[in-house]
Structure 1
Amino acid sequence: MYDKRVRALLPLVFILGVGFASVSDAALVGWWKFNDGSGTVAKDSSGKGYDGTVINPVWVDGKFGGALNFTGTNYVDVPAASWSTIRTQATVCFWAYGDPAQQPQANFIFGAFSDPANNDARRMSAHVPWSNGNIYFDTGGPGYNRIEKAGNASDYEGTWTFWTFLKNADTGDQQIYINGVLWHSGTGMKQTMEGVTKFTIGTKPSLAEGWYRGMIDDFRLYDTALSIEEIQAAMTGRGPGLGLASDPIPENESTDIPRDVTLGWTAGQYAATHDVYLGTAFDDVNDASRTAAAGVLVSQGQAAAAYEVATPLEYGQTYYWRVDEVNAAPDNTIYKGEVWSFTAEPFSYPITGVTATASSQSRPDAGPQNTVNGSGLNAQDQHSTELAQMWMSGNTKPHWIQYEFDKAYKIDKLWVWNANQVVEPFVGFGAKDVTIEYSPDGATWTALEGVPEFARATGFSSYAANTVVDFGGVTAKYVKLTVNSNWGGVAQQVSLSEVRFFYVPVQAFRPVPADGATGVALTASMDWRPGREATSHKVFFGADSAAVAAGTAAASTVSAHGFTPPAMNLGTEYFWRVDEIGDAGTQEGDVWSFTTQEYLVVDDFEAYTDDEGSRIYEAWIDGITDGKSGSQVGYDQAPFAEKNIVRGGRQSMPVKYDNSKSAFSEATITFDSAQNWAARGVKSLAIHFAGAAGNTGQLYLKINSTKVAYNGAAADLARGIWQAWNVDLSTAGNVSSVRTFTIGIEGAGAKGILYVDDIRLYPKAPEFITPADPGKANLVGLWTLDGNTNDTSGKGNNGTVIGGTANWVAGVVGQAMDFQSGQTYVDCGKGASLNLTDAVTVTAWIKMGFTAGDRKIASNQDGTTGGYKMGLYTNNIVEFEIRTSANAGTLNRNSPGGTVLQQDVWYHVAGVYSKGQFIKTYVFGNLDREMATTAELGTSTGPFMLGRGESATSYFWLGALDDVHVYNRVLSQEEILWVMGQTQPVAKPF
């Protein structure tokens, strides 16, 4: 059948054959690619060193490599010094993907302020967008220059857009570009931008408001006004040094790197091959070339962007390396790379957690623990001259100090910082002649031979350890130092500043995955740092921790460090141990553990694009394609996938269906190779779907040819929220060879649209939530709104219609009240039963009579002290707020998640508060958003009102309300479902 869908032609910024302008390295003063992928550091790739600190990072895939997802609780704190060269000219550009479920909302996508506490001190900031959908660009505050323009949702949400904000105070130009094209501008903008003290990405520098929600990638700051050609070049993801190797692995100046490390890097833009230089002298590596290799050209013309060192590196040695990127013929241009460095792992490591005891101490703050707690040491390992950061004995001999470790170690050496008071050069409390003994058990002692005289300290704060005692690899858990004499020879007391023991690791250590890791891929292999004496390794592995610990679990002996386990199951904790085998015997390892990933992805719909060959309807075959049913996968024009109604990631699959000409509608995917849904411990298939108002029909699926009907209510198809359908695969036939999977809707005349996302396999059997009757004991208000505003809870909180007359319409249960004027509300009085402080639950059926706006459903707040309130914010997401006795508001507006409600559709919503614990909101009985809070709800002096908040002039409800309940306790999800009218069990999401 002919496919009527067409590809929408997107505006092209770039034309073949047109060269790209480049901007100088110096002008780029900050470039945060967000390719870091983990941790809390956003590396600055400009070379200026302005690494950002990421608060609550959420790393995701982005436009170019990685990105950061901003959820309303995270941001990047960038050094304000990145603005130090900016005064009259600046350009900020980045890729952004606004969360369709949250936009538009009041945000600062970035802000550079001279005073974070002063809202007027905006040296440069932007709203993309503000809650009214406008794009704002402010510069040069106080009294800042501003340009603004109404934005298009297609630019700021649900798609990657390249934004550029440019200011040139020399010419007065202030401009906004979208995807490399000038979109809005202003003139006469002469205020300058120097003096930035706080720079944040993802929120306002004050951190008080303006949290962005969506993804940001490739954020750049220039200290000049870019040309349009330079903006378009930046849009490609290119930057200074495109031909150079970058992103070294290990990171530049890293320490403790394995001796058999494999070096890696990101290849330059034009590289065909790579020349690798590696040596121990910076100048040798920096100056070497193909014609003057200096013995450090270790690989020439290699194809891979990785190099495995040929022989083990030297312990503790600092190495320098460089990668030159070589173009393909005919020019074969060589781009000389930057010189990076790293330091190989040391032969021995400091012992931590040491306990010290002594024969005596001269005063309470001069105890033996001072010698092992790092007190008095600075970052350069230099010791202070303060006695309170040392040990000093009393006068009575013998003088000894003893150290106990957490276990027996093979000891390599001991560093000693002797007594270092200012008077030390004159008095000489420091230890001189010392006897050292060691013991495996604290009972049997052996004297260490060859103990050197302890060197005298300088008495200056620049003093570093100046005695090293060689232990020769003896094994001990206890070490005792007996000080036979001091340097002065007159005073009876002796003293030490600090000691540090080093051990030789003979056990396996540094496991990968890390001990206790979660979400480990089923394909993961294990690795570790081998013990220094190991010639082979015995690996115990299994799901039984006791068996692994006892050495009775299945074991394999390998010659090199690294182990590939047998097939692992989903969501399972595994235990493993590595015993190191050497000429001196076997060193039993510690038991480590990790937990595998919770699920497998069948389809999350993220890989589909609008390009031919990777469109969503080319994978999921519909009725338009095969003519067999009434379905249509994807939209008529690009973007073909759904970008706004999304459960996870950036897009979902829309399935339109119309059974007017056929009895069913289906979308079917055929897998390239058969999938085994019975392996890896899989028990359930999870499908997440959202319906739409007016949808009809019966949902089903087919695995190969086995049909499974949806086990929930048919009405779920008409609910515009994400719902779980969990299928017990033991009831779905043979799932060990799945070749086709179908989602269908049947029923003659059925019609609508279905959204599908996150199809997964789980190792758990389906579970269900059973609705539970909350009873009436804690019901303090119930307004059924069946032709009147009386309270039927028995508490007497009857309502009075204010600001108009009641308009009664058909409700979900009986009648409902339609609030039409924008000034009408119901005053239910100040009854004590509604003035709650410990806990409250408010539920209601609502239908929006507006497209967007800040509207209140129910409230008893008075604007001065205390009270609670439920409403919809400008993004049409339900929120719940409590106010303290000081009228400080706490609400879950900025919490992750949230369902965007649609106009003229009935929704059941609930808000719940528990004192000192949380605020939660629910839609159709599903938890929608939650936040932890210690804020305490204060007593209100205001009346409880339906359709209004504390404001007497704004935020009135527009639309219908039905069956409003108030309880003086926290209702569970099961109870909220019951109040909604649900009596049959519903699927519990995994």
Structure 2
Amino acid sequence: MSQKTKLLTCLICLMLAPLASATMQYQRWDTGVTGSRQAIIDFLVDLVNPVTLPDVEEILDESLYRGSADNYVAKAYGWLTVPATGDYQFHYACDDFGMLYVSPDEDMNNAVEVAWVDGWAGNAEWNKYPDTQHSDVMSLKKGQVLAIMAFYQEAGGGDNMDIGLTGPGLSSDITNPTYLTDYITHIPPVLSKARNPIPETEVDDVLRDTVLSWTPGEFSGTHNVYVGPSFEDVNSGTVPTTTGLDVNSFDPGRLEFGQAYYWRVDEVNASPDRTVHKGKIWSFTVEPHSIQIPGSEIVVTASSSSNEFSQPEKLVDGSGLGAGGTHDISPEAMWFTATVDLDPWIQFEFDAVKKLDTMTVWNSNGAAEAAIGWGVKDVVIEYSQDGENWAVLEGVNQFSRAPGLVTYDTADVIALNGVPAKYVRVDIESNWGGILMSYGLSEVQFNVIPAQARTPEPASGTTGVRVGETLAWRAGREAATHTVYIGTDANAVAAGTAPSVTTSTNSLDLGTVSLDMGETYYWRVDEVNNAEETTVWTGPVWNLTLTPSVVVDNFESYNNLSPDRPFQTWHDGFGYSADEFFPVGYGGNGTGVGIGHDIWTLTSPHYDGDIMEKSITINGSSQALPLYFDNSSGISQTDRTFATPQDWTLGGATVLSIALHGNPDLSAASTLYAKINNTKVTYDGDLSVPIWQAWHVDLAGLGINLTSVTTLSIGVEGSALGMILLDDIQLHKTAPAIPGPPAGGDKSLVAHWKFDETEGLDAADSSGYGNNGTLVGMDGTEWVAGHDGGAIEFSGSQYVDFGMNTSLQISGSVTISAWVKMNAGNDGAYMGIGGKLKTAPYRGFSLVRHSSGVFRLWADDGNGVIGGFDASSDVTYTDTEWHHVAGVVDAGTSMLYVDGVKQAKTSDVNLTIAEEPAHIGRQYSGLDDRYWNGLIDDVRIYYRALSEQEISGL
């Protein structure tokens, strides 16, 4: 490429002046890496503190970056102070591959990937990849500090990096955002100051009995707290609330309803320095004394209505209300009785008994109100809890008259004094005109004192709730205790006949209640105070669904760095050295086990890679735990000790399930076992099976106390040497079904599609592993007579999708076979029979009829390449007869059989897992081309290499 010049251009942002000191820290490593985001991560090892020192480090003090180099990896980072409260999106463009990380706070370690580029995007090319270049919308607070990191890899032909932001006061166009770099600084936030206030700054509806807390400064010894309703007083420190506080929380006492408060925390360094670091000023607003009942939760009925437009519900729908509490003069926004109503009344019904605070009434305000006077005058207001027994509200017998003007804003606010009621009725005795026997009102609002429990956490309807979750809610205003009803019968909970517990706090630990995992539960909270006139306020019924299992360890939290290295939790025979997280090292448990891949030895195939297994994982998992063992000197066993004893009876648990992936090189002499609180149980399966399986341990059969599990060990005994993989360790109420062949069947046959269906869009797998498929681009008329039974006829644009079942995550060895018949006119066509093949980088296997006319097996070499590693038939095939085609990968060699005869083989293949769905009828799992045109029948996949004799019998 030609030499490019570096251009750093300063852009003027819209509507909001950027920080004068806006800068980013820039680092560059002049080394080429494979074009992928993962390659960048692998090269830097630690994104926050890259392992390798950069070749270039400088401050970028302009808006965008255009470079002049090739073959490098770069990182830019800094801290953003949010300019205004609101919703924001981040945007990223770079050349080539790259990703943008954002942290919710100033800690870079908390940053997560929010946008990325897989390929390349040119200068300010913000929307080339619309699904990945834009973050989700984030709700941010003014003054919130975020850590930002951007990475990209440049190969050649041009380089650039653009980071954008849309939000309040900035551009709102995601294809032309404001440059984030104009609002960012390379200077880290001052950790000596107090931060992360609770309540968050600028929030509303804060409990009046709230306790203030914060994250203290790094060097603070004590804290000076200032709280008050005046910004100026808090800013000047003339309202000293407390000084010399030695905890990072403060109770300001009971606060005033609806009042805005300001507060700040000054951090005082520990002796002898005693420097005072003045904090930021935060604010919040206390909850109001009462809250409005939404009109959607009120049912309004009346003695009559004048027409279809002026119905009773108009009184609670907000129609006609304007800013500042005004009401317009449109009759369609009001309620009127019939022309003659001899017994006028209006009634309001709530969804439950409420503690009513106020009733706000806008009277009839039509344009002719001053002349006719429909507005209600004399009234009797009644209230009731059951709709049968009524009481009269004393002291209120008349509504004020409205002027009939659009400026009308003097609604009557009627004190209801906290009366408990589900119904309020207004009996109308007269109107202001005295001319017609017709009456009207414009709007009625009710405010309620929140005596009932509300805002449940988790929210009602939440699924996937942990068995040990803690339920919480916003307590009723006068509650002294809380009665919680919970059960699987919604009616019983509503009736108060379900089991209940009483708590003095507004929370309940589900671990203290006997619940079953996987079930949906209904719950309600009644607020109780025997000292009040109304002793119990019944709450609404909420619901939640518990997770179907309880995770003991899913191995997702481990990585290459201390303190999260897997062997620091699952102790092995090698141990670990002391460091800042583990002041005392661990010398090993004396067995032959090693946990995690060896990423430190130069000769290790995993050198400088991942300590966890990233490729061979179960569905939904990003990594698995490698367990290496060498029993030449005894056994191999890894041990985990739980810091807090675990109750393995919660949720009705009866089964411990361990996902494991075997190794075909292991012999029957290798026996897996587990120890729970040192009680041993042995695996009765086969460790040589190289696909994911589940080991179910019957907990009841152990005969031990499972309410306090402190240790779990997993080991291999016998004359064994090798490696297996472990993944999700979970507790279940009942043992999930283990997929596999019927008794006596070939366990290595993980998929067998006979295609003997005659209708529908589903293709059944008869292997027992459940790899059923879906016909794509078909209508169900494609089932035809085949070589043996039925078949599917493909037209050149259709395929069958078999998904990502873990039993098809095959590496090392495989056999795939099929009976195929091509339609006429196939000469020169490139047609995929099927398999599991990923592109760029290439991984997996696939059978095809190549455009040259040969049948071919593609399998990768372990380095993302398939070119040159094909096994092709000796002759070409263009006829329309049935042929049996089988591909085999075994011990680094791939072989092709046509009609039972071996026709070709090639070496140096190293089959790896393709992270794509299995498919029949096309070559690649993810590309819409090279489809089959003809019939396919009896497709089989084995996780082992079949012999020539076995293939001839298919």
Aligned with 1:756: secondary structure? strand
Contact 2:835 2:846 survives alignment (8 Å): no
- 1: distance between equivalents of 2:460 and 2:916? 34
Distance of 2:558 and 2:209 partners within structure 1? 40
Whether the 8 Å CA contact 1:848–1:902 is kept in 2: the answer is no
- Output the CA distance in 2 between the equivalents of 1:190 and 1:685: 49
Match of 2:611, SS state, is coil
Q: Which amino acid aligns with 2:531?
A: G
Question: In structure 2, do the counterparts of structure 1 residues 314 and 671 end up closer, same or farther at CA, with 3 Å as the change threshold?
Answer: closer
Match of residue 744 from structure 1: 715
Give the aligned partner of residue 697 of structure 2: 727
Cα offset, 1:389, TM superposition: 1.9
- Distance across 2 between alignment mates of 1:857 and 1:701: 39
Residue in 2 that maps onto 1:432: 377
CA RMSD, 1 decimal: 6.1
* SS state at 1:731 partner: helix
**For the structure 1 residues 600 and 44, does the alpha-carbon distance in structure 2 shift closer, same or farther, using more than 3 Å as the test?**
farther
Change (3 A) 1:379 1:265: farther
Q: Residues 750-761 of structure 1: matches in 2 within 5 Å? A: 751=722, 753-761=723-731
Change (3 A) 1:554 1:849: closer
The answer for unaligned runs of 5 or more in structure 1 is 1-6, 29-42, 56-61, 68-92, 99-108, 111-125, 131-135, 145-161, 166-175, 207-218, 785-789, 802-809, 818-824, 832-841, 860-869, 878-900, 908-922, 931-943, 967-974, 982-990
What is the rounded CA distance, in whole Å, between the counterparts of 2:282 and 2:839 in structure 1? 64
Kindly indicate whether the alpha-carbon contact (under 8 Å) linking 1:359 and 1:393 is maintained by their aligned counterparts in 2: yes
> Partner residue of 1:394?
338
Match of 2:757 among 769, 778, 788: 778
Opposite residue 437 of structure 1, the aligned amino acid is E
The unaligned stretches of length 5 or more in structure 2 are 1-42, 65-78, 92-99, 129-146, 575-587, 601-607, 743-751, 767-784, 797-811, 827-831, 850-857, 866-888, 896-910, 947-954
Distance in 1 separating the partners of 2:162 and 2:594: 58
Letter in 2 for 1:743: I
Correspondent of 1:684 among 655, 658, 664: 655
CA drift of 1:371 comes to: 0.4
Q: How many angstroms apart in 2 are the aligned matches of 1:727 and 1:65?
A: 41
**How far, CA to CA, are the matches of 1:799 and 1:541 in structure 2?**
55
User: Which of structures 1 and 2 has the larger relative contact order (alpha carbons within 8 angstroms, sep 6+)?
Assistant: 1
Distance in 1 (alpha carbons) for counterparts of 2:936 and 2:314 = 68
1:261 to 184, 190, 210: 210
Contact 2:791 / 2:936 at 8 angstroms: preserved in 1? Answer: no
> For residues 169-218 of structure 1, what are the alpha-carbon distances to aligned partners after superposition, in whole Å with 9 as ceiling and x for unaligned?
xxxxxxx668xxx9999689999999996666xxx999xxxxxxxxxxxx
Distance 1:139 1:364, change over 3 A: same
Hey, what's the Cα distance between the residues in 1 that align with 2:838 and 2:893?
7
| Aligned positions of 1:45-124 closer than 5 A | 45-52=81-88, 110=115
Equivalent position of 1:332 in the other structure: 275
Change (3 A) 1:461 1:701: farther
The alignment status of 1:620 with 2:570, answered yes or no, reads yes
Question: Is structure 2 residue 359 aligned with structure 1 residue 414?
Answer: yes
Q: TM-score, normalised by structure 1?
A: 0.59
CA distance, structure 1, for counterparts of residue 375 and residue 931 of structure 2:
79
Q: Counterpart in 1 of 2:228?
A: 279
Q: Structure 1 residues 96 and 603, CA, compared in 2 at 3 Å: closer, same or farther? A: same
| Matching residue's letter, 2:365 | N
Report whether the alignment pairs 1:656 with 2:628.
yes
Moved more, 319-328 or 256-265: 319-328
Q: What is the aligned counterpart of 2:673 among 701, 704, 708?
A: 701
Out of 582, 605, 608, the residue aligned to residue 531 of structure 2 is: 582
Does the C-alpha gap of structure 1 residues 585 and 850 become closer, same or farther in structure 2, counting only changes over 3 Å? closer
Residue 856 (structure 1) shift:
7.6
Q: Report the Cα distance in structure 2 between the residues aligned to 1:381 and 1:643, rounded to whole angstroms.
A: 63
Q: Which residue of 2 aligns with 1:320?
A: 262
Counterpart-to-counterpart distance in 2, 1:560 and 1:499? 36
Instruction: Select the residue among 503, 516, 521 that pairs with 2:448.
Output: 503
Q: CA deviation digits over 1:738-789, x for unaligned, max 9? A: 55433334564653x32323323334344444768987641699999xxxxx
Does the 8 A contact of 2:225 with 2:266 survive in 1? yes
1:451 pairs with one of 388, 393, 396: 396
Aligned ranges 1:328-727 → 2 under 5 Å: 328-329=270-271, 330=273, 332-347=275-290, 349-350=292-293, 353-378=297-322, 381-398=325-342, 399-424=344-369, 427-451=372-396, 453-457=398-402, 459=404, 461=406, 463-464=408-409, 466-490=411-435, 492-512=437-457, 514-515=459-460, 520=465, 528-535=473-480, 567-569=512-514, 571=517, 573=521, 575=523, 577-580=525-528, 581-584=530-533, 586-587=535-536, 589-590=538-539, 599-608=549-558, 610-611=560-561, 615-624=565-574, 625=588, 628-629=591-592, 631=594, 633-637=596-600, 641-642=611-612, 644-645=614-615, 651-657=623-629, 661=632, 665-671=636-642, 677-678=648-649, 681-691=652-662, 698=670, 700-704=672-676, 705-716=678-689, 718-719=690-691, 722-727=692-697
Per-residue CA deviation, residues 663-715 of structure 1 (Å, 9 max, x unaligned), is 86443334557655456643222222345676666451221554434344545
The residue aligned with 1:138 is 122
- Deviation of 1:357 after TM superposition, in Å, equals 2.0
Name the CA distance, whole Å, in 2 between partners of 1:847 and 1:190: 34
| SS of equivalent to 2:365 | coil
Structure 1 residue matching 2:227: 3-state secondary structure: strand
Q: In structure 2, do the counterparts of structure 1 residues 53 and 96 end up closer, same or farther at CA, with 3 Å as the change threshold?
A: closer
Residue identity matched to 2:122 = D
CA distance in 2, matches of 1:189, 1:532: 54
> Which amino acid in 2 is paired with 1:404?
E
Seen in structure 2, the aligned counterparts of structure 1 residues 315 and 15 have a Cα distance that, compared at 3 Å, is same
* Distance in 1, Cα, partners of 2:534 & 2:159: 80
- Measure how far apart 1:499 and its partner are: 0.3
Judge conservation of contact 1:948–1:956 (CA < 8 Å) in 2: no
1:86 maps to which residue? Answer: none
Distance 1:95 1:583 in 2: 47
Assess, with a 3 A threshold, how the Cα gap between structure 1 residues 549 and 415 changes in structure 2: closer, same or farther. closer
* Contact 1:522–1:568 (8 Å) recurs in 2: no
Find the residue that maps to 1:222 and give its secondary structure: helix
Q: SS of the counterpart of 1:138? A: coil
One-letter amino acid of the structure 1 residue matched with residue 592 of structure 2? S
Q: How far apart, CA to CA, are the structure 1 residues paired with 2:486 and 2:409? A: 45
Counterpart residue identity of residue 138, structure 1: G
Is the contact between residue 355 and residue 404 of structure 1 (CA under 8 Å) also seen in structure 2? yes
Q: How many residues align?
A: 724
Worse-matched range after superposition: 405-414 or 552-561: 552-561
Instruction: Describe how 1:863-882 pairs up with structure 2 within 5 A.
Output: none
Shift of 1:248: 3.2
Residues 519-573 of structure 1 show CA distances to partners (whole Å, capped at 9, x for unaligned) of: 5556655555454555555566778878876767777766665666773456264
Residue 567 of structure 2 aligns to a residue in which SS? helix
Distance 1:701 1:829 in 2: 57
What is the rounded CA distance, in whole Å, between the counterparts of 1:651 and 1:814 in structure 2?
A: 27
Instruction: Confirm whether residue 250 of structure 1 aligns to residue 199 of structure 2.
Output: yes
CA contact (8 A) 1:506 1:587 kept: no
Alpha-carbon shift at residue 321 of structure 1 (Å): 2.7
Deviation at 1:341, TM superposition (A): 1.9
Instruction: Tell whether the 8 Å contact from 1:440 to 1:478 is kept in structure 2 after alignment.
Output: yes
**What letter is aligned with 1:589?**
T
SS of equivalent to 1:286: helix
Structure 2 counterpart of 1:223: 182
Query: Structure 1 residues 690 and 465 mapped into 2: Cα distance closer, same or farther (>3 Å)?
Result: farther
**Secondary structure, counterpart of 1:298 in structure 2:** strand
Matches within 5 A, 1:885-924: none
CA contact (8 A) 1:425 1:459 kept: yes
CA contact (8 A) 2:814 2:941 kept: no
1:432 deviates by: 3.0
Amino acid at match of 1:377: L
Q: Are 1:925 and 1:976, in contact at CA under 8 Å, matched by a contact in 2?
A: no
Deviation at 1:947, TM superposition (A): 3.9
